[in-house]
C-alpha cells in the first residue's frame, strides 16, 4: 500500500500526532485489529500486518490511495473487510482509489477495470484482455 503524505508528520498532509493516533485507532478498529495496538510488528500475522498497513496509509486521508495487492495475504473475511474499507474511501474521503490486484472478485468492485496485455494497459474485455 502506497500513498502520498499518509504518515503523520511527513509529506504535504501533516497530521498532528494526537489526531493521527485517534484516526489510526479508529481505522484499526474498523479493520478488526484494534487489539494489536502496541504489539511489535514481528508478533503480528501476515493478515494483521496487511490491515495495519492499510490503516497507516489512510491516517493522512490522502487524495489518491494506491493499493498494490491489498488483499493478497488475507483470508476471505479479512479480504472482504479490507475491500469494503478501501472501496468506501472515494465516497467517505473524496479521494481516488487505484487498486492493482490479481483477484477478480476485488477487481469486479472497481468502477473501471484495466488489464495488462503485452505490456500495455487496456480496458478489461477489449482486444483479448479478460475482464
Site of grid cell 482509489: 97
* Residue stretches of the chain with pLDDT short of 70: 1-13, 126-131
DSSP state of 9: T
- Cell reading at 117: 496485455
Opening angle at CA 77, ends 65 and 86, nearest 5: 15
Predicted local confidence at residue 13, as pLDDT = 57
- Cell reading at 108: 469486479
- Cell reading at 45: 500475522
Predicted local confidence at residue 19, as pLDDT = 92
pTM here is 0.69
Predicted local confidence at residue 15, as pLDDT = 84
Predicted local confidence at residue 9, as pLDDT = 43
Q: Is 43 exposed, middle or buried (0-12, 13-18, 19+ CB in 10 A)?
A: exposed
Predicted local confidence at residue 131, as pLDDT = 53
Give the CATH number of domain 2-100: 3.40.50.300
Predicted local confidence at residue 117, as pLDDT = 85
DSSP labels, 34-102: GGGTT--GGGS-HHHHHHHHHHHHHTT--SEEEEESTTTT--HHHHHHHHHHHHHHHHHH--EEEEE-S
Amino acid at each position: 500500500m502506497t500513498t502520498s503524505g499518509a504518515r503523520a508528520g511527513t509529506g504535504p498532509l501533516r497530521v498532528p500526532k494526537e489526531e493521527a493516533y485517534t484516526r489510526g485507532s479508529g481505522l484499526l478498529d474498523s479493520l478488526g485489529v484494534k487489539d494489536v495496538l502496541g504489539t511489535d510488528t514481528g508478533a503480528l500475522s501476515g493478515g494483521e500486518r496487511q490491515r495495519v498497513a492499510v490503516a497507516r496509509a489512510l491516517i493522512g486521508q490522502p487524495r489518491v490511495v494506491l493499493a498494490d495487492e491489498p488483499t493478497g495475504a488475507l483470508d476471505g473475511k479479512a479480504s472482504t473487510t479490507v475491500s469494503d474499507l478501501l472501496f468506501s474511501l472515494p465516497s467517505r474521503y473524496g479521494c481516488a482509489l487505484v487498486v492493482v490486484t490479481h483477484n477478480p472478485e476485488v477487481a469486479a468492485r472497481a468502477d473501471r477495470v484495466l488489464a495488462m496485455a503485452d505490456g500495455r494497459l487496456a480496458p478489461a474485455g477489449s482486444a483479448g484482455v479478460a475482464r
